[in-house]
Amino acid sequence: MTEVPTPTRDLYERYVIPTYARFDLRLARGAGTEVWDEAGKRYLDFGAGIAVTSIGHCHPRVVRAMQEQIGTLVHTSNLYYTRPQALLAERLVRLTCAPGPPRGKVFFCNSGAEANEALYKLARKFGNECEPPPPRHAVGECITVDANRHTIVTMDGSFHGRTLAGIAATGQEKVKKGFEPLVQGFVQAPYNDEPALLAAVEAPGVAAVLLEPIQGECGVVPATASFLRAARTACDDGGALLMFDEVQCGLGRTGDWCGWRSIAPEVWPDAVSWAKGIAGGFPLGAIWVSDREVTLKTGEKIALCNLLGPGSHGTTFGGTPLVSTGALAVLAVIEDEGLLENARTLGVFARESIAALGSPLIAEVRGVGLMLAFELVPDFAGRVPSPTGRAPSLMVVDALHEAGLLTVPSGSHAVRWLPPLNVQRSEIEEAVGILRDVLARLA
Ligand code: PLP
């Protein structure tokens, strides 16, 4: 007698720690922008694993490159040199600096939270070991700069990951609850509020500002160009580092390799973190650090990108030959298939198509490139009551699932569209049609 396999969901309930409130979907395979569940139902995947499968599922070029590499060399540790990691570092530095000459260096890790950890450590080392800038004003109205600077200013509404330092950096109370005492040295300032940011950076002891050029986890909120410019000026004046968390918005999602360049191309950060789409679904994180000169308290001058020296930071898996090969293939596909342009053009098309639905349930459509969200009207719960008290964004996402479209909720009222960068116009038309029908039914 053959044994009936235990259903996937039952296995989860029995064996997986319940940190996620999962949707009741059991996904089995994917190709391009499509995924299929265990029962064979097809979905258009406009969540892309939360901005991760940046060139869709199982792109043949990535599959080929990884298959070849998996039979060649998977892992060696970071005690040795491997060619794929070296080539990937070069590529990331080049695309960050293009069209200028490649400057700065990269460190590899495994996730967005870890990439941000590397930024926090860079900021701490900078604050502890580098000379503070001279006081900026005459004595009397003096704003002194603390000799021991270790505060990192982050933004209200931000999300930087789930490590202990990540939740201290994150500007959302819900991620911190129950995990006190929090890691010290993080303060939050209001996003897109220039005077408030200036005041926060002028406080004694600030080593760095960390911000998302487009906040993802609070409903896709882009920074204004003037806020990014003000952040650069405040950091220059206060002798602090300006660091961008591009874990969600970076590497093509906005239609530019650098998310901030879609908003304020003239602004240069001192460091950037990446993860999510960098390797199209394989776990990889990285930071880029600029080569600007800094002065150590010993008087020695070094490039900022050499501040994290041997023994100061590391991780077993970061940048294995296998994952680096995958990332190189993903970045090559984005380049060769013109996907930055695709993200820009189809991003506008998607945004305009959702807005053109004129749904009384949608208050706003916003975003940059293919990092989009629509905000449901504040009185959604009054118009479409939920018998179970489910949040409006979840009700819409549930209904879209039912109709064959995967999207990602963001907070209580926003729904994100983060399709792969090689999404087709016809797939956007299909998704907009599904959304139209779902909203009409709910309304
Ligand atoms: N930073 C941003 C902007 C993110 O959106 C996320 C994840 O959503 C993270 C950091 C954390 O990344 P990970 O989940 O890979 O640790």
Assess whether 160 and 42 both reside in one domain.
no
Spatial CB neighbours of 126, under 8 Å, sequence gap ≥ 6: 149, 207, 208, 241, 294, 304, 307
What is the domain range of residue 37? 8-55+339-442
Say yes or no to pLDDT of 170 above 70: yes
Q: Assess whether pLDDT exceeds 80 at residue 332.
A: yes
Q: How many CB atoms lie within 10 A of CB 5?
A: 8
| pLDDT tens for each residue of 359-389 | 999 999 999 999 999 999 999 999 999 999 9
Q: Closest Cα to atom 13, ligand 1: which residue? A: 112
Instruction: Examine the domain organization and report whether 133 and 150 are in the same domain.
Output: yes
pTM across the whole model: 0.96
Q: Are residue 361 and residue 314 in the same domain, yes or no?
A: no
In the chain, what percentage of residues exceed pLDDT 70?
Answer: 97
User: 39 CA to middle of ligand 1, Å?
Assistant: 31
Angle between helices 321-336 and 60-70 (to 10 degrees): 160
pLDDT at 312: 98
Domain-ending residue, one of 302, 335, 368:
335
pLDDT of residue 145: 52
How far does the centroid of ligand 1 lie from the alpha carbon of residue 355, in Å?
28
Instruction: Let me know if residue 63 belongs to a domain.
Output: no
Q: Please indicate whether residue 245, judged by its CB atom, sits closer than 6 Å to ligand 1.
A: yes
- pLDDT tens readout for residues 212-268: 999 999 999 999 999 999 999 999 999 999 999 999 999 999 999 999 999 999 999
Q: Is the pLDDT of residue 141 over 90?
A: no
With beta carbons less than 8 A apart as the criterion, state whether 84 and 279 touch: no
Q: What is the mean pLDDT of residues 109-115?
A: 98
Among 335, 359, 393, where does a domain finish?
335
Q: Is 217 in the pocket of ligand 1 (CB under 6 A)?
A: yes
Q: Confirm or reject: Cβ of 279 under 6 Å from ligand 1.
A: no
Query: Domain holding 194: CATH number?
Result: 3.40.640.10
Write down the mean pLDDT value for the chain: 96
| Residues 52-75, mean pLDDT to the nearest whole number | 98
Does the beta carbon of 160 sit less than 6 angstroms from any atom of ligand 1? yes
Residue 160 scores a pLDDT above 60? yes
Per-residue confidence (pLDDT) for residue 98, from 0 to 100? 94
Which residue, 308, 335, 362, sits at the end of a domain?
335
pLDDT band at 158 (very low <50, low <70, confident <90, very high): very high
Please report whether residue 261 resides in a domain.
yes
Q: Domain check: are 371 and 258 in the same one?
A: no
Is the shortest distance between the CB of 161 and ligand 1 below 6 Å?
Answer: yes
Alpha-helical (H) ranges within 139-274 are 164-169, 194-202, 225-238
Residue 440 has pLDDT above 80, yes or no: yes
Strand pairing of 241-245 and 214-215? unpaired
pLDDT band at 136 (very low <50, low <70, confident <90, very high): low
